[in-house]
Chains A and B, each alone.
Chain A
Amino acid sequence: MTAHVPDLKAEKIAGGVNSDARHDSAHKHVIGQAVYIDDMPEPAGLLHAYLGLSEVAHGAITAMDLSAVEAAPGVRLVLTAKDMPASNDISPTARDDEPVLADGLVQFHGQPVFAVVAETREQARRACRLARIEYAEKPFVTDIAELDRRSARQVTPPLTLARGDAAEAIAGAPRRLKGSMSIGGQDHFYLEGHIAMAVPGEDMDVTVYSSTQHPSEVQHMVAHVLGVPSHAVTVEVRRMGGGFGGKETQGNQFAVIAAVAAKRLGRAVKIRPDRDDDMTATGKRHDFVVDYEVGFDDEGNILGVDFHYAARCGFSSDLSGPVTDRALFHCDNAYYWPAVMAKSAPLYTNTVSNTAFRGFGGPQGMLGCERVIEEVAFATGLDPLDVRKKNFYGVGERDVTPYHQRVEDNVVHRVVAELEASSGYADRRREIAAFNATSEIVKRGIALTPVKFGISFTATHFNQAGALVHVYTDGSVHLNHGGTEMGQGLYVKVAQIVAEEFQIDADQVKITATTTGKVPNTSATAASSGTDLNGMAARDAARQIRDRLCDFAADRYGLPKEQIVFLPNRVRIGNQEVAFADLVKQAYMARVQLSAAGFYKTPKIRWDRDKGEGHPFYYFAYGAACSEVSIDTLTGEYVVERTDILHETGRSLNRAIDLGQIEGGFIQGMGWLTTEELVWDDRGRLRTHAPSTYKIPLASDRPKIFNVTLADWAENAEPAVHRSKAVGEPPFMLAISVLHALSDAVASVGNHKICPRLDTPATPERVLMAVERVRRASGA
């Protein structure tokens, strides 16, 4: 790379906000020079750790003979629960229910029981297989469908949302129905698996390079287990090869083991599980069973709903509390429920503890909601889209959510109307009906579904962020903040914001690895909040420095501050223009501080969980998708013929990045709802633990025609950073349109009289079985 020469005549900076700046690492990605943790130069004497996993789903360890493990070639250390110096707990919400290594009791098949540290990774991995562990097996449960969902053991307290009297509204409604829906989980399948490398320092110190979305939490966990102050632990991550929520808490275990071994041996230690072990031993998206009852009238107006959201949480709480909470927060999607009761049931199972995953329970909440819409449509004979439109939140009326927050920024009507027109929904529905009338085997279906997603952490205190900005005397800028880069383009967006603030080209802003040593007490990069929070914090830091430069210039040149104007790569001071770098140099010589820490906390939000009332979301993000599918009624195989998406990201900071999030989120959501199936066997073993058995979408699974549009009129009603909106999670739920299109195609074999009640993932098998069921029920 050559040094940047700023254009001092430019009308606009390169790479500011509202530009289509490329991902900052794109160039490095394509040449293979982007450094992930396993690519870092290895410290001399590096050792490798590997995990030994339990071989029963539930049982007491009665004997553990690790002598062969210890004697295996290259082995330097074997760790068990008793080797954790100060604590064996890494539960992220301090419920003390998640051991680093199982201590006497294993609660799922694949739970880490011990760790081996050896000279090479292969030696450590081979040694793991030599353990002799005996268990007194106990009864176990992997599937919540086998449980009494109203009374079974819970891992964390449930939530109730209520507004109005749902029972009375349903009882008094002209029509009622009830049902349940089973929703499968999802593995994150980040391409880079979990990894951590710990380098011991002097005193109590340790530096951990961790593939994590939450460096501060890794820091706290490592400190907690080692029994040292947080100041002794530094956690750093430059980039992850994908996260999607799977690295919000699940990296803790690996980081802790690497750190414990490193401090014990005085040597650097790296740990990287094989893909199968990663998928077996780390948490996933929660499976749900949603029970629903709805009261409605013949016109499709929904009068009252009752939801019960039961979730497979696994053996510990992890983030299951907030995940199941968010499911309830989205039991309304974009619809006004005149009376509503929604309860969560975060259930204990003998499976890996489920965790955050893009949407964080919201997608499951929304799926239950959309099933109710579908049921009402079938019951009344109305087009599901008409039922949807009838029940949308109003503007200025019918706008109170089940959690008593008013929807103040509703644009769902406009989004859906525009997409309905641009996708040709009405004409295509007629064409599909004509096609289905003459096609015996292949049937088509179409659906248009909306998304309204609440933006903010529902734990209010997480909605804060810090940043650190330095300006060097040559005018170049060092940027650091608490957000992590997992591919979503956070780093480049924040750099755009800082560049905009200083009015300098974005490549003058050096993006640096997230580290707890520069910005402390950060929140996870999660809840779609990365840019909203860190962008604002970085802007605050940049603005402080800019204001100091402005004050300095006004003072030095004897002008009012209004006459100091930051132009692209230069500053107009009265009648003259000075290069940004020159002004910086002058300021330095005059002893002006050119470094600042920025901070931001989201305004307006509050949440009282006990009452189920508040204003948990700063704003909502909206979108809609229309999908058309073809199914083969002999095998259940299907293809997505076409998808049209209209999504709004406020005034987009970077349309290219936002489109990438929308397309990628949609396809990932489609995988969740179609081919990605988690299967546990009768011994409680996960059988789908590698890409050979767990099928995420391929290029050839994407819609044959895929039209993705950003609403160009959109603007955040709240003063979020540059009036943009969060984009990480909301598009994931656009994929619900694919499920409903499949359902529509299935329903055609029964003349659309019977709701197919298609559960997810809607594999070809489930589609075929639904076809057969609808045929039988309709006597066709």
Chain B
Amino acid sequence: MVATRDRIRFLLNDETVKVADVRPDETLLDFLRLRRSLKGTKEGCAEGDCGACTVLVGRLAGDELRYEGVNACIRFVGSLDGCHVVTVEHLRGTGGGLHPVQQAMVDFHGSQCGFCTPGFVMSLYALWMRSPRPGEAAIEKALQGNLCRCTGYDAIVKAAKAISSYGDAAADPLAVERAATTERLTAWRDGARVEVGQGSQRFILPAHVDDLAAVLEAEPDATIVAGATDVGLWVTKFMRDIAPVVFVGHLEELRGVWIENGTLSIGAGVSYTEAFEALNDRIPALGRLIDRIGGDQVRNMGTIGGNIANGSPIGDMPPALIALGASLHLRKGAARRSIPLEDFFLDYGRQDRRPGEFVERIEVPLPAGDAHFAAHKVTKRRDEDITATLGAFHLRLDGAGRVASIRIAYGGMAGVPKRAKAVEAALTGQEWTRATVEAAMERYGEDFTPLSDMRASADYRMTASRNLLLRFFLETSGMAGPVTVGRERAA
């Protein structure tokens, strides 16, 4: 029997908060603005897309205290147990003036209407803490989740480059107080299950994974929440009743990434940011793909497991993982099973997850040294946009230049992430030439009948999807000129 606690506790700026009367769907933004009158954090969209509500959340990852920008509008208060929430009101410069981030924003005219500004300040603060002298690409990446409608961004990017000329990141209060804060948060680790609320209106933080299994056996219809980047919108947009909520984002056991016998294991609770750190060197194409999922805030919250388990046809990780031959490992109580990832997606909105069952991890066979792998996402706007079509390709050639094996999977082209089996068949055993690729491009109609919606027409989805195969061919065959456009700047 695990110990239980009936209130959550976290640090809010420099104040300890202990609350029992937390609604399971109460957002951090409402808590800050309505309960605490901390009005510096703004609501722009209430769906995690504009960044006006960006705050930092410091959490213990192992023994390390990590501060990450998150969207307060879709972050549930219950999920903050044991964390340090930092809002714009907490920033101070040495001597009581403006913080270096703030002073740079003022001096470079980085605000006009000012409504998005606190969010930008917080995102730049997070960037500056981890990278005091960021380059243009790092700044753009850090700001993918922040919309500004007034400035055109140039002034903000200039400010971002100049922050360190206003102060030393190592002397920043959060850095100076890091050890003390770590100690405070560590002291709160009591190994207890936390349950706040009454009856069905509860928010539950299991003590560990075995406890999670037990909680879900008792509450098989509970909403499992990790990053809340999707479930948050069920609340803010659809006003759905999601209680009881079982939170899994704090479970260290689900946050590991490790390699054993050529197989990469990714815990279900691993965030996109953590996955990027673990995978970018090993499978750079996955790193580039993750860079185009959400903004920094969403990548800090959203998880690989959640992206799979919610079954979206436009989730971006599944096609890539399917192309790599990933398997999904599920658990219910003490029972465990694994299935090929592609088999998890039964139909639109329907997955092979039983009541009380949860995703523990994803296993990915590492691509062979001579394999080619790519994942190409096509969107209306380059960054922080939802897929129109996404093609993932995993190719091995034999010694004679013939296709020994190819796995192709798409997102956005059907009600589920889906293999292009007719196209694969047309290529397998053939010479890897433009002619065979162009012939295989004619087979897409056998695999897909895409829809038209606000993101793209069926025609466009089909044409672009076919052409992505050609792009993959041109990449792998070493075409002289550029195969696509990008943000990289000419040297």
CB atoms of B464 and A488 under 8 A apart: no
- Quote the shortest CB–CB distance from B158 to chain A (angstroms): 10
From B89, B140, B453, B483, A699 is in contact (CB under 8 Å) with B140
- Quote the shortest CB–CB distance from A670 to chain B (angstroms): 9
Number of interface residues of B (CB under 8 A): 89
Contacts of B49 in A (CB 8 A): 690-692
SS of A interface (majority): loop
- Quote the shortest CB–CB distance from A523 to chain B (angstroms): 20
Tell me, in angstroms, the Cα distance from A665 to B150 when the chains sit together: 7
Closest residue of A by beta carbon distance from B101: A30
Contacts of A778 in B (CB 8 A): none
Known: A32-B39, A240-B113, A690-B49. A700 touches B487 (CB 8 A): yes
CB atoms of A691 and B45 under 8 A apart: yes
CB atoms of B460 and A638 under 8 A apart: no
CB atoms of B484 and A36 under 8 A apart: no
Cβ of B303 < 8 Å from any Cβ of A? no
Residues of A165-186 contacting chain B, CB below 8 A: none
Cβ of A226 < 8 Å from any Cβ of B? no
Tell me, in angstroms, the Cα distance from A435 to B206 when the chains sit together: 59
- Quote the shortest CB–CB distance from A246 to chain B (angstroms): 10
Which of the segments B3-11, B102-110, B189-197, B209-217 contacts the partner chain? Answer: B102-110
Q: A595-632 toward B: CB 8 Å interface, digit per residue (1/0)? A: 00000000000000000000000000000000000111
Residues of B116-175 contacting chain A, CB below 8 A: 116-118, 121, 139-141, 143-144, 146-157
Cβ of B1 < 8 Å from any Cβ of A? no
Contacts of A708 in B (CB 8 A): 154
Cβ of A440 < 8 Å from any Cβ of B? yes
Tell me, in angstroms, the Cα distance from A27 to B151 when the chains sit together: 16
Known: A36-B115, A700-B487, A768-B464. A439 touches B481 (CB 8 A): yes
Residues of B83-119 contacting chain A, CB below 8 A: 87-89, 91, 98, 101-103, 105-107, 109-118
Tell me, in angstroms, the Cα distance from A190 to B147 when the chains sit together: 10
CB atoms of B41 and A32 under 8 A apart: yes
From A635, A637, A659, A667, B153 is in contact (CB under 8 Å) with A667
- Quote the shortest CB–CB distance from B402 to chain A (angstroms): 24
Closest residue of B by beta carbon distance from A706: B154
Cβ of B431 < 8 Å from any Cβ of A? no
Q: B441-463 toward A: CB 8 Å interface, digit per residue (1/0)? A: 00000000000011111011001
Contacts of B42 in A (CB 8 A): 36, 191-192, 241
Tell me, in angstroms, the Cα distance from A32 to B125 when the chains sit together: 14
From A34, A275, A637, B44 is in contact (CB under 8 Å) with A275
Contacts of A428 in B (CB 8 A): none
Tell me, in angstroms, the Cα distance from A263 to B107 when the chains sit together: 45
Cβ of A131 < 8 Å from any Cβ of B? no
Known: A656-B109, A660-B151. A700 touches B114 (CB 8 A): no
Residues of B363-393 contacting chain A, CB below 8 A: 378-386, 388
Contacts of A126 in B (CB 8 A): 239
- Quote the shortest CB–CB distance from A708 to chain B (angstroms): 8
Contacts of B256 in A (CB 8 A): none
Residues of A642-687 contacting chain B, CB below 8 A: 656-657, 659-660, 663-668, 675, 677, 679, 681, 687
- Quote the shortest CB–CB distance from A191 to chain B (angstroms): 4
Known: A192-B42, A630-B485, A663-B155. A487 touches B150 (CB 8 A): yes
- Quote the shortest CB–CB distance from A686 to chain B (angstroms): 9
Known: A30-B98, A439-B481, A692-B386. A189 touches B147 (CB 8 A): yes
- Quote the shortest CB–CB distance from A197 to chain B (angstroms): 14
CB atoms of B91 and A31 under 8 A apart: yes
Tell me, in angstroms, the Cα distance from A681 to B40 when the chains sit together: 37
CB atoms of B481 and A438 under 8 A apart: yes
Chain B CB within 10 A, most for which of A23, A631, A706:
A23
Cβ of A16 < 8 Å from any Cβ of B? no
CB atoms of B114 and A764 under 8 A apart: no
Cβ of A22 < 8 Å from any Cβ of B? yes
Known: A635-B468, A663-B152. A677 touches B113 (CB 8 A): no
Contacts of B474 in A (CB 8 A): 441
Cβ of B36 < 8 Å from any Cβ of A? no
Closest residue of B by beta carbon distance from A244: B149
Tell me, in angstroms, the Cα distance from A637 to B377 when the chains sit together: 11
Known: A31-B40, A275-B44. A693 touches B147 (CB 8 A): no
Tell me, in angstroms, the Cα distance from A635 to B448 when the chains sit together: 18
Cβ of B50 < 8 Å from any Cβ of A? yes
CB atoms of B121 and A30 under 8 A apart: yes
Known: A129-B239, A442-B482, A663-B152. A691 touches B50 (CB 8 A): yes
From B98, B383, B486, A698 is in contact (CB under 8 Å) with B383
Known: A487-B150, A660-B150. A635 touches B156 (CB 8 A): no
Cβ of A265 < 8 Å from any Cβ of B? no
Tell me, in angstroms, the Cα distance from A634 to B465 when the chains sit together: 9
Tell me, in angstroms, the Cα distance from A631 to B143 when the chains sit together: 24
Contacts of B484 in A (CB 8 A): 441-442, 632, 634-635, 637
Closest residue of B by beta carbon distance from A28: B114
Contacts of A659 in B (CB 8 A): 109
CB atoms of A39 and B149 under 8 A apart: no
Tell me, in angstroms, the Cα distance from A23 to B46 when the chains sit together: 28
Contacts of B381 in A (CB 8 A): 675, 695, 697-698, 701
Cβ of A314 < 8 Å from any Cβ of B? no
CB atoms of B111 and A634 under 8 A apart: no
Contacts of A681 in B (CB 8 A): 454
Known: A241-B42, A693-B454. A636 touches B114 (CB 8 A): no
Known: A27-B98, A244-B149. A441 touches B483 (CB 8 A): yes
Cβ of A274 < 8 Å from any Cβ of B? yes
- Quote the shortest CB–CB distance from A606 to chain B (angstroms): 34
Residues of A754-779 contacting chain B, CB below 8 A: 763-765, 768-769, 772
CB atoms of A275 and B102 under 8 A apart: no
Tell me, in angstroms, the Cα distance from A442 to B482 when the chains sit together: 6
Can you list 19 A-B contacts (CB < 8 A)? A23-B114, A25-B111, A30-B118, A38-B39, A39-B39, A191-B42, A191-B147, A192-B44, A242-B113, A243-B113, A244-B149, A275-B44, A441-B471, A657-B109, A668-B152, A677-B454, A687-B453, A691-B49, A701-B383
Extra contacts besides A274-B46, A699-B156, A700-B143 (9): CB < 8 Å: A23-B111, A30-B98, A30-B118, A190-B115, A190-B149, A487-B115, A660-B112, A698-B381, A705-B489
What residues make up the interface of A, taking CB atoms closer than 8 Å to B?
A: 22-23, 25-36, 38-39, 125-126, 129, 188-193, 239-244, 274-276, 438-442, 486-489, 630-632, 634-639, 656-657, 659-660, 663-668, 675, 677, 679, 681, 687-688, 690-693, 695-702, 704-706, 708, 763-765, 768-769, 772
What residues make up the interface of B, taking CB atoms closer than 8 Å to A?
A: 33, 39-47, 49-50, 52, 87-89, 91, 98, 101-103, 105-107, 109-118, 121, 139-141, 143-144, 146-157, 236-237, 239, 378-386, 388, 453-457, 459-460, 463-464, 467-468, 470-471, 474, 479-487, 489
A-B complex: 6 closest residue pairs judged by Cβ atoms: A32-B40, A487-B113, A241-B115, A29-B114, A667-B152, A487-B112
